[in-house]
């Protein structure tokens, strides 16, 4: 009897699952919805640098990649158009200077505000794209190795950002998200030892996470 009821239960559950899958329509996003996505962000700089004013042969050769938790909030102003704010825990980067190796560690926060267009708000698979503005603040600069004991500061940056992403429904409220930003981040490094250098960081930012609709 126990076996039978378990079999019935499983059959019932499978039926319910099948019905649910068949019956639940693609869950649209619409005007007034809030979407919150949380996951991992990865910053991949596409950097270039001038020489330092006091030592022109020295330039930043590499700004390392960095991964941390990220979150973004979208408010749908119409069924198709939303405004999105990207935030994260600080990203930590190593700066390598030609001939000196790794000399600076720095953290940054890159909040980004995007106006986006959702191409398929009524679908269970919803691609979108947008453009907006980024503000990046650098902090926690620390010099090591060849620049240890000296000071360096990195100016904050304001620049354009573009984004493309896709939401794929998991169930009524949850969805998977993958998105990609290209952000114009340029800073000026000010070293107490070797002067100033202009560094373009201009990263790709990749995000993978889970979203919820409210
Ligand atoms: Ni740039």
3 alpha carbon, distance to own chain's centre: 50
In the reported structure, the alpha carbon of residue 201 is separated from the centroid of ligand 1 by a whole-number distance in angstroms of 7
Q: What does the alpha-carbon distance between residue 82 and residue 118 come to, in Å, rounded to a whole number?
A: 8
Mean pLDDT of 186-209: 97
Domains along the chain with CATH numbers: 3-25+33-213 (2.40.160.20)
∠ CA 36-37-41, nearest 5°, is: 145
In the reported structure, the alpha carbon of residue 210 is separated from the centroid of ligand 1 by a whole-number distance in angstroms of 30
Name the pLDDT band for 28 (thresholds 50, 70, 90).
confident
Which positions ≥6 away from 42 have C-beta within 8 Å? 65, 66, 67, 205, 206, 207
What does the pLDDT look like over 66-103, one tens digit per residue?
Answer: 999 999 999 999 999 999 999 999 999 999 999 899 99
In the reported structure, the alpha carbon of residue 184 is separated from the centroid of ligand 1 by a whole-number distance in angstroms of 4
In the reported structure, the alpha carbon of residue 158 is separated from the centroid of ligand 1 by a whole-number distance in angstroms of 10
Tokens for 71? 């979150």
Mean pLDDT computed over every residue of the chain: 92
In the reported structure, the alpha carbon of residue 191 is separated from the centroid of ligand 1 by a whole-number distance in angstroms of 21
In the reported structure, the alpha carbon of residue 155 is separated from the centroid of ligand 1 by a whole-number distance in angstroms of 13
pTM of the predicted model as reported, rounded to 2 decimal places:
0.86
In the reported structure, the alpha carbon of residue 87 is separated from the centroid of ligand 1 by a whole-number distance in angstroms of 20
In the reported structure, the alpha carbon of residue 203 is separated from the centroid of ligand 1 by a whole-number distance in angstroms of 9
Name the pLDDT band for 9 (thresholds 50, 70, 90).
low
Residues 97, 61: contact at Cβ < 8 Å? yes
Q: What does the alpha-carbon distance between residue 68 and residue 71 come to, in Å, rounded to a whole number?
A: 10
In the reported structure, the alpha carbon of residue 91 is separated from the centroid of ligand 1 by a whole-number distance in angstroms of 18
Which positions ≥6 away from 7 have C-beta within 8 Å? none
What does the pLDDT look like over 111-153, one tens digit per residue?
Answer: 999 999 999 999 999 999 999 999 999 999 999 999 999 999 9
In the reported structure, the alpha carbon of residue 46 is separated from the centroid of ligand 1 by a whole-number distance in angstroms of 9
């Amino acid at each position: 009897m126990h076996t039978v009821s378990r079999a019935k239960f499983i059959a019932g559950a499978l039926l319910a699952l099948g019905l649910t899958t068949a019956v639940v329509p693609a869950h649209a996003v619409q005007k007034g919805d809030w979407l919150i996505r949380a996951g991992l962000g990865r910053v991949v700089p596409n950097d270039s640098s001038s020489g330092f004013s006091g030592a022109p042969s020295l330039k930043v050769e590499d700004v390392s990649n960095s991964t941390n938790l990220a979150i973004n909030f979208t408010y749908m102003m119409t069924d198709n158009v939303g405004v999105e704010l990207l935030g994260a825990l600080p990203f930590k980067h190593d700066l390598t200077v030609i001939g000196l190796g790794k000399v600076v560690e720095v953290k940054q926060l890159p909040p980004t505000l995007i106006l986006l267009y959702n191409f398929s708000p009524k679908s269970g698979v919803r691609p979108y794209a947008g453009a907006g503005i980024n503000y990046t603040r650098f902090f926690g600069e620390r010099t090591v190795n060849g620049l240890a004991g000296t000071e360096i500061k990195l100016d904050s940056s304001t620049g354009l950002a573009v984004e493309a992403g896709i939401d794929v429904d998991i169930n009524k409220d949850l969805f998977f998200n993958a998105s990609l930003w290209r952000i114009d981040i340029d800073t000026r490094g000010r070293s107490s030892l070797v002067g100033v250098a202009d560094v373009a960081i201009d990263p790709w930012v990749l995000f993978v996470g889970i979203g919820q609709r409210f």
